[in-house]
Structure 1
Amino acid sequence: MGEVLGKVLVVDDDEVIRQLIAVNLNLEGFEVATATDGQDCLERVLDVMPDVITLDVMMPCLDGWATAERLRTEEATSHIKVVLITARAQDDDKRRGRGIGVDAYLTKPFDPAELIQVVRELAENGRSTGQGRC
């Protein structure tokens, strides 16, 4: 088995999509952990300390917007790269994501190859700037 490309926390309330993303990233060499919603993400993020978080927007309990905002405001998680994944493709939604400070925005249905490329670039960028794992 090759070198681990980075750690990814996959957050989605839909088990099928969560597993689809996790399997694709795992096959590419990423170490993958999963969370079922935003609250679960926030409870697990410090234990996992991922390089990248893929984050669904529409989730119960704590949605992706609020989760991304919390990740950005906490010093311990503010450096983690965040990819929002959602069926909401309106320009206002994309502007909102940029305003929060997310690093990438993919719309469902997404191409798994595109997702892998985005996650790989973000993980590499995080490490090259010294902002990856401690």
Structure 2
Amino acid sequence: MSGRVLVVDDDNVIRQLIKVNLELEGFEVVTAADGVECLDIVQGVRPDLVTLDVAMPRLDGLRTAERLRADPRTRHIPVAIVSGHTKVDGADGEEPPVDALLAKPFEPSELVAMVRQLTGRTEGREARPPGGADDADEQEPAPWPAGR
């Protein structure tokens, strides 16, 4: 198994699209419909990565990311925004507390590459310690857009 991803999106079609694409690459995927559900299940799921949409009912992706970062039990989990909202700010206009951004619509290969990079996994291999000989071959996740 390549790792466990918690996919959080209020759109069932998008959740299933992400789930299928990641499962085809060997990831185990658990889904949640919004930030409240994410926070309810994250401790039991123990994901290697959480993907969040921005615009969701009850608790949006940015507030969910802030809560994940504020909790010592979840602050170590990488968080990626997968959203059509590419100009977003965290609390008080600061950089949002996330590790990567993938804009919708996205190519499945971009999604898989981002998830692999953030979980430290490559095809057929488990996580390596940082600084390994293969690290130069991995692509960085998309940087946060400049000029927001």
Counterpart in 2 of 1:5? 2
Shift in Å, 1:96: 3.6
Counterpart in 1 of 2:110? 114
Which stretches in structure 2 are left out of the alignment for 5+ residues? 122-126, 131-148
Residues 6-42 of structure 1 deviation map (CA, whole Å, 9 limit, x = unaligned): 1100000000000000010011000110001000000
| Larger RCO (alpha carbons 8 Å, 6+ apart) | 1
| Percent of residue pairs bearing the same amino acid type | 53
Which stretches in structure 1 are left out of the alignment for 5+ residues? none
Larger radius of gyration: 2
1:102 to 88, 98, 102: 98
SS in structure 1 at match of 2:115: helix
Higher helix share: 1
Counterpart in 1 of 2:73? 76
- Normalised by the length of structure 2, the TM-score is 0.77
Which runs of at least 4 in structure 1 moved beyond 6 Å after TM superposition?
none
Q: How many residues align?
A: 123
How large is the Cα RMSD of the aligned pairs?
1.9
Counterpart in 1 of 2:43? 46
- Normalised by the length of structure 1, the TM-score is 0.85
